[in-house]
Amino acid sequence: MKSNALFLGTLLAASAVPALAGDVSYKSDVQPILHDYCLNCHEPGGKGFEASGLDMSTYASLMKGTKYGAVIKPGDSFSSVLIQLVEGRAHPAIKMPFELKGGLPARKIDTLKSWVAQGAKDN
Ligand code: HEC
């Protein structure tokens, strides 16, 4: 009985995040998502950058955050504003990517969350 429950728990845990068992890489996993979904607004000249000061074109500028401060708290995806926004947890009206119907695909949100949870490293 006990071992069955353990087995089921392992299966569930494994199926929830299949691709994220290992380390998430900023360069090969995170940067492509930011490039495809965020950069057109969040680099100098874009409307997200103009409104918030958040430039995601480099690791350093991403970690610097908005004109008000950091949007990523390494090791703590729950409190990271960037994660709150892509999950629509901050305010439904300012879900990111801005005005994208359906929002960021769940798998990509999971990648960003895992990367932050693993320390938001420049790896
Ligand atoms: C179509 C343009 C657009 C896209 C694409 C976009 N943003 Fe934004 N973003 C904005 C605008 C405009 C603001 C300012 C919103 C405000 O302050 O009301 C903003 C603000 C932000 C902020 C700062 C919010 C704050 O607390 O001040 C974060 C973090 C953010 N965006 C993350 C993202 C992420 C992550 C992506 C990609 C997944 C993304 N954005 C894609 C337009 C965009």
Given this model, what pLDDT does residue 16 score? Answer: 45
Residues written for the chain? 123
For the chain, the farthest-separated pair of C-alpha atoms sits apart, in whole angstroms, at 60
Environment class of residue 121 by beta-carbon count within 10 Å: exposed (0-12), middle (13-18) or buried (19+)? middle
**23 Cα to the center of ligand 1, angstroms:** 26
Token pair of 92 as six digits: 């439904």
pLDDT tens for each residue of 24-67: 999 999 999 999 999 999 999 999 999 999 999 999 999 999 99
Given this model, what pLDDT does residue 99 score? Answer: 83
For 52-69, b/e burial (b = at least 16 CB within 10 A) is bbbbbbebebbebbbeee
Given this model, what pLDDT does residue 90 score? Answer: 81
Residues 43 and 111: their CA atoms lie apart, in Å, by 21
**8 Cα to the center of ligand 1, angstroms:** 39
Contact assessment for residue 103 and residue 86, using Cβ atoms and an 8 Å cutoff: yes
Given this model, what pLDDT does residue 7 score? Answer: 54
List ligand 1's pocket residues with C-beta within 6 A: 37-38, 40-42, 47-48, 51-52, 54, 66, 71, 81-82, 85-86, 94, 96-99, 104
